[in-house]
């Protein structure tokens, strides 16, 4: 494992390399595994490991005719590489810990094959706060029930018992990341200001999934 994730506001960079990955988000205080194999992203991880170990995850916009360089959403999440391993076939297996969300200011032209953004963190400084929000699991019973039904119907397998051992923010964010929601819906969850709003957004999104247009049955 790589050293402390504690970060001060003055240590936040004003530009970061980014990994645009469609229908994939990370949140602060959550950890995701990544399998890196494209040459440009191998270069990005190499460069990051030599510096601050920070990279940004951000979604490309969902457009019909995908350009070679797709337009990106305005909000992503910066993470720190906490685990790194190289495989025999030259891939990198890393774990990325979400730290703080960012807004993209502009893209920076560089000699790198990967993309680099100038970013601003001012709207998301509270992501660095360790304080837990006062939400009760009882508030989420219906959401969890509907989410579980949706996950099972879409063939997703979730270790629900393991989620009970996590903090509430970790649980909400983990479910938001793993959910079979659309790119746009996941982006809405990422941009939600706090956990309470994110919880309500999940509920709103789920309400659009409760009726199955294919067989005219309600998800039970």
Distance CA 48, CA 52 (A): 6
Whether residue 127 is predicted with pLDDT greater than 70 in this model: the reply is: yes
Q: Considering only CA atoms, give the Rg of the chain.
A: 18
Collapsed DSSP state (helix, strand, coil) of residue 7: coil
Domain made up of 9-128: CATH architecture = Roll (2.30)
Q: Residue 207: its pLDDT value, please?
A: 76
Average pLDDT over the chain reads: 81
pLDDT band at 220 (very low <50, low <70, confident <90, very high): very low
Q: Which residue has the higher pLDDT, 13 or 214?
A: 13
What stretch(es) of the chain map to CATH 2.30.130.40? 9-128
| Unique residue bearing structure tokens 């685990």 | 83
The pair of structure tokens assigned to 93 is 């297996």
pTM: 0.80
Chain segment 154-205, per-residue pLDDT in tens: 766 666 666 666 677 777 787 788 777 888 988 999 999 888 888 888 888 8
DSSP state of 60: B
């Amino acid at each position: 494992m790589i050293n402390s994730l504690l970060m001060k506001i003055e240590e936040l960079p004003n530009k970061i390399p980014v990994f645009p990955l469609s229908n994939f988000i990370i949140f602060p205080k959550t950890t995701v595994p990544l399998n890196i194999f494209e040459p440009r992203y191998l270069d990005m991880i190499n460069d990051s490991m030599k510096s601050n170990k920070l990279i940004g995850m951000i979604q490309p916009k969902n457009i019909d005719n995908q350009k070679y360089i797709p337009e990106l959403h305005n909000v992503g999440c910066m993470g720190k590489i906490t685990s790194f391993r190289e495989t025999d076939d030259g891939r990198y297996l890393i774990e990325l810990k979400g730290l703080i969300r960012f807004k993209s200011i502009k893209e920076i032209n560089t000699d790198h094959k990967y993309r680099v953004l100038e970013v601003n963190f001012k709207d998301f400084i509270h992501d660095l706060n360790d304080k837990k929000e006062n939400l009760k699991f009882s508030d989420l019973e219906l959401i969890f029930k509907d989410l579980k039904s949706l996950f099972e119907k879409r063939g997703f397998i979730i270790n629900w018992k393991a989620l009970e051992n996590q903090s509430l923010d970790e649980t909400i964010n983990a479910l938001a990341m793993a959910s079979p929601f659309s790119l746009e819906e996941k982006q809405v969850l990422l941009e939600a200001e706090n956990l309470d709003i994110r919880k309500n957004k999940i509920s709103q999104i789920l309400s659009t999934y409760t009726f199955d247009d294919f067989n005219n049955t309600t998800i039970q």
